[in-house]
Chains A and B, each alone.
Chain A
Amino acid sequence: MFRMRKFFCLSLFIILALLFQAGPAFAQTRLRILHVNDFHGYAQPHAPAGMKDKIGGAAYLAAHIDALKKDNDGNVLLLAAGDMIQGHPWANFNEGRAVIELMNAMKFDAMVLGNHEFDFGGKVLEQRIREANFPVLAANVEGIAGVKPYVIRKTGGVRVGLLGIISEHTPVHTHPQNVAGVRFFPSDSTVRKYLPELRKKADIIILLTHIGYREDRLLSEKIKGVTAIIGGHSHTKVTDPQVIDGTIILQAWEHGKSVGILDIEIDNGKITSLRGTLEDIKPTGPYRDDVAAIVSVYEGSLDKAMQQVIGNTKVDLEGSHVRSRETNLGNFITDAMRKDANTEVAFINGGAIRTGISAGPITVRDIYTVLPFTGYTVVMELRGDELRRALEHALAAGEEGSGGFLQVSGMKFTYDPAAAAGSRIKAIAVNGSPLEKARKYSIATSDFLVAGGDGYSFFKAIRQKRVQGQGKEIRTLVIEYIKTQGDICPRAEGRIKPETP
């Protein structure tokens, strides 16, 4: 009797083991992998610049995903390829918590970290990871609690290995303090390190990356045995995906404007078909009520945050002459930039400042109205003669009334408005000392100007420069500066002074 029971138990064990064994036991299976990337908190339908019609919207995206899941009998994984929680004020004002709530409601299966996931700092990121009901991946990162290198998801009897890879250059994409104590490793060596382990545990391997489409293609040429690379970072709309050495390379644009669909057909353990497509998300037709409710709740919070009084100005902050002369508002903004970047000089183009603020309480919305663009600070070194050239260009721009006139901090200069363009500057002093032609000065300015905007094309050739913190917009550091001051009373104090002989 005992022998019979032992035999029965052993047989049951073998049958169960065969049923659940990994590898090519499954016959014909169709897997569907849905993916989004670079959502950047764009929860509401929106009309991108130059487009009349709205596109996207999390509630519509969720309904579309549900329909795509239904089409495939549930053998579906939903993945996010990074840069989900930061970007739009809807997400920024709650440091990405709202996006994680959306993703939980939509039942994401995994996400890879993007560089912008670090923009609220390591501690906030760890909190977001704790809130997520799905694994957050990045095999080439050390120092963030809760991040996993990979995860195995079983669907349709197939074990899918998902390995996360983030850009190793993340430290230059975000403020240095956001990645303090965090280590990043190269993509290709990290993939090679984990592949043997994954091959033992998974039937198919998918790299979930945030390194950019071009880097994904290069990576596919270096590694073998990966079914798909699903990426983000370059915001690429891959409508006609290519298969390189058996690996399909995919990316689904940006801002929830489309969803990527990868259908994988497997027969007797072998992949017989790989088909990738994108479907655009339009704010028409079915939408998910619960997701719409989350969007609405955080819209309300954003509205409240925008109304928050952050300080008080005793004087009108002058925004109407920022393209032609020194203003107290331009002085205040550039003072905030110089303090945040800890440089000798700061300047910004007048065109970045769109309006003024009347004396009285200052709200967050006021600052967003004054500085509507999502610019951030870049620090560079300019020689004295290069700084002079920039100021001559600013004066020429001021004459034309273009946005290239500069508002400055940490320096004063006088000029002759009647002199010929290019030789108007009479004297320049940096922090009280005369400008030295050959000396290098540390400068904080905007990404827009460093890229050559408003005619500052010669800034492109300056090699000594670094992004001060893409995660902290100039308007955010101005808000922080006002909060530390409380009452402000900036004045035009002769930083830019015309002197006619």
Chain B
Amino acid sequence: MSAGRGENKTRDALNVFVNGRHFHMLRGMTVQHALLAAGILKDRESCTVKDEQGNITGLDGALTEGIKLFTAKNNT
């Protein structure tokens, strides 16, 4: 169900890793969706998330292919 236009061949499914666990996420979804998928967020509460370089990433941040996200223990 690719929705790509123009010259790009886009894939809808992304490989995303949360605390080392692998998830297939839909392109267009955000960090918050990945945390829901991982069962870390139960609702729309807050959580501090970092990428593999240790940078803080906003919950509304777009997921990209291969992204690795980590949450602090006290957030889970």
Contact = CB atoms under 8 A, between A and B. Distances in A.
A447 to B, nearest CB: 6
Contacts of A27: none
Contacts of B12: 172, 465-466
A218 B45 CA distance: 32
A457 B39 contact: yes
A451 B25 contact: yes
A259 to B, nearest CB: 15
A171 B5 contact: yes
Contact of A235 (B7, B13, B31, B37): B31
Interface residues of A, number: 58
Interface in A157-194: 167-169, 171-173, 176, 179, 182-186
Contacts of A172: 2-4, 10, 12, 27-28
A183 B31 contact: no
A253 B56 CA distance: 8
Contacts of A142: 6
B20 to A, nearest CB: 16
B6 A183 contact: yes
B27 to A, nearest CB: 5
A238 B23 contact: no
Chain B contact patch, size range: 35 or more
Contacts of B55: 213, 236-240, 251
Contacts of A38: 58, 60-61
A452 B39 contact: yes
A235 B57 contact: yes
B36 A184 contact: no
Given A467-B26, A470-B28, A254 B61 contact: yes
A425 interface: no
A169 B4 contact: yes
A251 B61 CA distance: 12
A357 B65 CA distance: 42
Contacts of A466: 1, 3, 12, 26
Contacts of A173: 27-28, 62
A452 B37 contact: yes
B60 A254 contact: yes
Given A49-B46, A184-B7, A236 B36 contact: no
B71 interface: no
A234 B64 contact: yes
Nearest to B36: A451
Contact of B37 (A168, A460, A467): A460
A464 interface: yes
B34 to A, nearest CB: 8
B33 A451 contact: yes
Nearest to B48: A50
Interface of B: 1-8, 10, 12-13, 23-29, 31-34, 36-37, 39, 43-47, 51, 53-62, 64-67
Given A171-B8, A236-B61, 14 more contacts: A40-B60, A49-B59, A168-B8, A172-B27, A172-B28, A234-B57, A235-B57, A235-B60, A235-B62, A237-B57, A254-B58, A373-B44, A460-B24, A463-B24
